[in-house]
Amino acid sequence: MRARIAGFSAAALLLAACTEGGVAPKVSDWTDAPSREVPPVSPTDVLGEEDVAARPPAAEVPVVGEPMPAPLTGHAEVVETGSRGLSDVSQVDVDLTLTGVRGKGTVEVEFVSPTGHPYERRTSVVVGKPEVPRTLRFSLPVAGTTVATSAMSGTWQVRFLFDGAPLTTAAFTLEP
């Protein structure tokens, strides 16, 4: 067994000392490469065979010195109506204020019952400019619905998504 280990060690040592053409290979990293300018190639037209009209529009690149546009943010707030009893509330309104909307997007709202199960989901398309805040109102009907007839009292969650990505949440409580 010792002879076998010694043989493997000797072979490894011999291979480590190998050279090609009498010159030991040089170990280098990427900083040793000479610097030269290479023109960028369009990622959609590597072979140069694509029609210019078929190319996607160029991404917006901020000009040097200009501030970056604000990221998309959302703030949800339950509109207070005073009473929160199931027999007194006709609906619960939730306002979603969006800032930083660029162009067109889809807002989804999901009302989650106190048991943790999704109760109702709706979508709305929003069009906006990054510098102009947008406010959307979503309402959950209570009077005359399953919420009231099944006595679905407790704390409800409201989840908002923008183009499928989680945005913000809110909560409200309906008392028995």
Q: Above pLDDT 90, what percent of the chain?
A: 48
Q: Is the pLDDT of residue 174 over 80?
A: yes
Instruction: Tell me how far apart the alpha carbons of residues 40 and 58 are, in angstroms, rounded to a whole number.
Output: 14
CATH of 73-174, one of 2.60.40.1180, 2.60.40.10, 3.50.50.100, 2.130.10.10: 2.60.40.10
User: Residues 81, 85, 89, 92: what is their CA dihedral angle, to the nearest 10 degrees?
Assistant: 60
pLDDT of residue 130: 86
- Prediction pTM value: 0.61
Q: What is the pLDDT of residues 142-168, one digit of tens each?
A: 999 999 999 999 999 999 999 999 999
Backbone angles phi, psi at 117, to 5 degrees: -95, 140
Least confident interval from 35-49, 56-70, 91-105, 130-144: 35-49
pLDDT at residue 9 greater than cutoff 70: no
Model confidence band, residue 84 (pLDDT cutoffs 50, 70, 90):
confident
Across 69-89, average pLDDT? 84
Across the chain, mean pLDDT equals 78
Distances from the Cα of 6 to the Cα of 14, 16, 17, 18, angstroms: 12, 15, 17, 19
How confident is the model over 87-100, as pLDDT tens digits? 889 999 999 999 99
Cα separation, 110 vs 156, in Å, equals: 10
Are 99 and 112 in contact, with CB atoms under 8 Å apart? Answer: no
- What band does 123 get if pLDDT is binned at 50, 70 and 90? very high
